[in-house]
Amino acid sequence: MSLWEETKRVTREKYGDIIDGDRPKSRREKMSRYDRAAQFAPFAALTGYHESVEDTENEYALQNEGGGVVSETFYD
């Protein structure tokens, strides 16, 4: 018997009574995607973080685009 078959057999022995059962039904109404997404909105509340990331992206793009000329201007 292969390891995979043995694992399946042991799993069936341990969880056979629930493995093929139906998922429990919630008594609550299903939340809309919009409402679920709104739960995570507070994590975007880091003031200035998004702007800081954009500034870094723009600076990186300018450095690689200008062949070092912009880099010398900013850092000299």
pLDDT in tens, 18-74: 988 898 899 999 999 999 888 877 666 677 788 888 999 888 888 877 655 555 555
pTM equals 0.33
3-state SS assignment for residue 39: coil
Instruction: With respect to residue 14, please indicate whether it lies within any of the assigned structural domains.
Output: no
Structural domain span for residue 73 = 47-76
Q: How far apart are CA 58 and CA 68, in angstroms?
A: 14
Q: Is residue 58 in a domain?
A: yes
Instruction: Compute φ and ψ for 60, nearest 5 degrees.
Output: -60, -45
Inside any domain, residue 73: yes
Our count of domains for the chain comes to: 1
Cα(25)–Cα(13) distance, integer angstroms:
25
**Torsion angle, alpha carbons of 67, 72, 74, 76, to 10:** 170
pLDDT at 74: 57
Q: Is residue 19 part of a domain?
A: no
Q: Does 3 score more than 90 pLDDT?
A: yes
Residue 72 lies in a domain: yes
